[in-house]
Chain A
Amino acid sequence: MAEPPDSGSSGNDFKGLGFSKIGHFKQVRAKIGELEKIGAELSRRHSELEAVINSMTEGLTILDQDLNIVFINKVQQALFQGRALSGRKCYEAFYQKQKICGNCPAVETLANQESLSGEINVDLPPHGRRHLEWSTTRIADPLGSAPRVLLLMRDITKRKEEEMNLMRADRLATIGLLAAGIAHEINNPLTSIAGFSEGLLKRVKQNHPIEEDQLIRALEDYLQIINQEAHRCSNIIRNLIRYSQKTTENMTSLDIVQIIHDTIVLIQPHARQTGIQLALNDGQTTEPLCLTGSEANLKHLCLTLFNYALEAMEGPGTLNISAQRNAGEVEVIISHGNSLGSPAALTPNDRVEAVPPFHAGKADIGGLPLSLSICYTIMQQHRGQISLQHGEDRSLAFVLKFPTSLP
């Protein structure tokens, strides 16, 4: 027969002397301890983040999905001095508009999760007109429902001014470089002027009488030549003056072929000295290749690149310049190579590199001359892209792509 259950120990089990309703107190206390730890950690991270945000030189704004400003840092508030920002719509607070801006980058960033950046000119009393660089980044919501946008703004007005000054200095330096060729170019007409005017003087001073008719005819011919040559000088000088003028940011619709042509006129004398020909291939179109841009800056760009290409050529040859429309973009190719007839001869194996961005204000970074950094700035201003192709035979091509219109 099986043993009956042990009533003694079971009886004590039933009494449950060591047991009772289990209260949540212990659990709650443990949870409170845990939460306190998490809270301390969070507040430590919070102060760290706050310090990071306040030490930033950029103005920082956080927008909710309805474009309400939910957070701004001190720099941003200082940028928009005297304006209430927090809690308002960004377009009201920053740009004093009643409606959302057309192609608002914050909305696009929210929709596509893409970070965007750009520049904008804003009137900011008492600072006056300021140039601001901005970027938008999406902040994912941990629950996935209410994403926000991080908007960074930086006042780059001073940098812009410095860029302008630098560009002008660079242009003047280029003129210095061109001086020899231009002097030679001016010297020819001046020699003609001098020669013909001396000839005239001689005739006038001759003692033996000449027939009046003959004199008048000669006078007309000689003056005609003198006048033409003087105009030639004047044109060259005017072109130079226009080039050296202080640039403006004014963007207008212009024909890139005309710009290239004007630049070729400027650099032709210099090129001729080293035995290089500049050939413009505009695809025989009668239509102007229009894009929106700054005339002075684009000329500077062309001149610098032509000059760079000329330097890279090691002897007589031809520098080919082509301009054409390509898939909604205007494409300019500056190429040379003694074995290369045209840029089309560049093979797909050729190394293609983007010209890396570099800071204006530092003379020479990564072996690229200062002038190229200015070219990069100008391309950025035109929302264009610049790339450099190296052929195997040390040939070189710059490829520039411009959008036909700017947003």
Chain B
Amino acid sequence: MTKLAEHQVPPDELLQKFEVPEIIHGPGALAKIGQCAKRLGGEKILLVTDPGLVKAGWVDAAIGYLKAEDLQYVVYDDVVSNPRDFQVLEGADLYLREGCDVIAVVGGGSPIDTGKGIAILVSNNGIIHDYEGCNLVTQPIPPMVCAPSTAGTGADVTQFAVITDTTRKVKMTIVSRAIMPEISLVDPCLLKTKSPELIAATGMDALTHAIEAFTSSLSWILTDPHAIHAIELVHAHLLEAARHKTREALHGMSIASLEAGIAFSNAILGAVHALAHPLGGYYDMHHGVANAVLLPTVFRHNTQYALEKYALIAQALGVDIRNISPEDAAQAALEKIEELIADLGLPPRLSQLGVRLEDIPTMAELARQDVCLCTNPYCYTKTEIEIIYREAW
């Protein structure tokens, strides 16, 4: 009894949290989309997707599964890479006009983030810009079921949504436990119709997620195994998946993306994402490509602040670290990553992607303000960020 009285309210710094949605994984998992939507209480489903998936036939398949459960549906497919604020607004209007209930998404990070944005707007008031930042969603949002069509984004299991502010040309990061989807249907079959370029770019996104989650100041025992396993899987399968789309490789990459997502949703990210977001806002650069081009430079700068962790990353990337120093291991890991980027045929320099030197100071200021920088092993100053941009240029 005295012990209870002595019990102190712990400071939040001492507490950790781990949260994941319900996950159904496996070839053909998409077939459960109707059942899941119905289970979430749906009668009329807003199906968010993009034109590529319509063309590939996955949307028709999903509609078939919705119909099989006697569900009504409305399709919103006006979504582009780096989804725009007005697209979220359009989708929310459609949802309200058609009297939808559950939101289902078949697509990559862009449709999933659009779906999250729509969900926020239809039950919380205002515009999507009002929710940029942490934990600003206060009202219950419509249930969501997501079937990710790329292996990399992890948005189907995260509390993040990134939407482009078309007026300011910046990517707004919305972080809220409230917007985590209810159910994720991870179906590796959906990856078959992706182009090798997209598999490469999204795969690098997954690798960046895993590395940044592992080195994050918020990483802990429940996130680390997922992060490390995701790195191992990318190392084992990404090249094969991009080159030959073998069933085993795609399966591996779907797990890699999922585990990286689980890890970074709870441990958050780091400087690569902080620096990549302005590139998306300014140049509409694909998120995976932006991450890939920045990862090696940030990796090199970060190493000194979390040496042990970078050595373990090297191990996950297949480096034998038993007889080498942590510095050498980290260096070996960096080389492995650069080699992978080269093998995938991704551009290694910002200058090759149309980035102008004169934009760097402005982008550095935006990156410094990005929430992702907070959990990086070291919090860079604006000048230091400019240096990193220039090195990657």
Q: Is B146 an interface residue (CB 8 A)?
A: no
Cβ of B159 < 8 Å from any Cβ of A? yes
Assembled-state Cα–Cα distance A394/B369 (Å): 98
Please judge, given known A-B contacts A1-B383, A5-B374, whether A15 and B178 are in contact too, CB under 8 Å. no
A1-23 CB mask vs B (1 if < 8 Å, else 0) is 11011111011111111111111
Residue tally, chain B, CB below 8 Å to A? 34
B202-229 CB contacts (< 8 Å) to partner A: 217-218
Cβ of B256 within 8 Å of any chain A Cβ, yes or no, is: no
Cβ contact within 8 Å between B217 and A7: yes
Q: Are B382 and A2 in contact (CB under 8 A)?
A: yes
Q: How far is the CB of A323 from chain B (nearest CB, A)?
A: 69
8 Å CB contact of B19 from A12, A20, A23, A26: A20
Interchain CB contact under 8 A, B374 and A7: yes
Is there an interface contact between A15 and B17, defined as CB atoms closer than 8 Å? yes
Does the CB pair B368–A14 fall under 8 Å? no
Is the pair A19, B381 in contact by a Cβ cutoff of 8 Å?
Answer: no
Asked if residues A22 and B178 are in contact (CB atoms below 8 Å), the reply is: yes
The verdict on A208 contacting chain B, using a C-beta distance below 8 Å, is no
On whether the beta carbons of B381 and A2 are closer than 8 Å, the reply is yes
B368–A2 contact, CB under 8 A? Answer: yes
Within the complex, which residue of B138, B141, B379 is in contact with A5, where a contact is CB–CB below 8 Å? Answer: B379
Within 8 Å of chain B (Cβ to Cβ): is A27?
Answer: yes
User: Nearest Cβ in chain A — how far from B212, in angstroms?
Assistant: 13
Cross-chain contact A5 with B217 (CB below 8 angstroms): no
For B218, what are the chain A residues with a Cβ–Cβ distance below 8 Å?
11, 14-15
Size band of the interface chain A makes with B: 20 to 34
CB-contact partner of B140 in A2, A14, A24, under 8 A: A24
Query: CB-CB < 8 A to B19: which residues of A?
Result: 16, 20
Given the interface contacts A14-B134, A16-B17, does A22 sit within 8 Å of B379 by beta carbon?
Answer: no
**Closest B residue by C-beta to A18:** B135
- Complex: how many Å from CA A4 to CA B177? 25
Q: Is the CB of B135 within 8 A of A19?
A: yes
Is B380 engaged at the interface, CB distance under 8 Å to the other chain? yes
B358 CB within 8 Å of chain A: no
Q: Does B292 contact A (CB under 8 A)?
A: no
Contact B13 A1 (CB under 8 A): no
Partner of B381, one of A4, A6, A11, A16: A4
Would you call B382 and A20 a contact (CB within 8 A)?
no
Give the distance to chain B from A31, nearest Cβ to Cβ, in Å.
12
CA distance A23 to B140 in the complex (A): 6
A8 to B375, CA, bound (A): 9
CB contacts (< 8 Å) of A11 on chain B: these are: 13, 217-218, 268, 374-375
In angstroms, Cα B380 to Cα A2, docked, is 11
Chain B residues, Cβ within 8 Å of A23 = 140
> Which residues of B line the A interface, CB within 8 A?
12-13, 15-17, 19, 134-135, 137-141, 159, 175-178, 180, 182, 217-218, 268, 368-369, 371, 373-375, 379-383
Between-chain CB contacts (< 8 Å), 13 pairs = A4-B380, A5-B374, A7-B379, A10-B134, A14-B134, A14-B175, A14-B375, A15-B16, A16-B176, A17-B15, A19-B178, A22-B178, A27-B140
Instruction: List 8 additional A-B contacts (Cβ < 8 Å) besides A4-B379, A7-B217.
Output: A2-B381, A5-B368, A10-B374, A14-B134, A17-B12, A19-B176, A20-B177, A20-B178
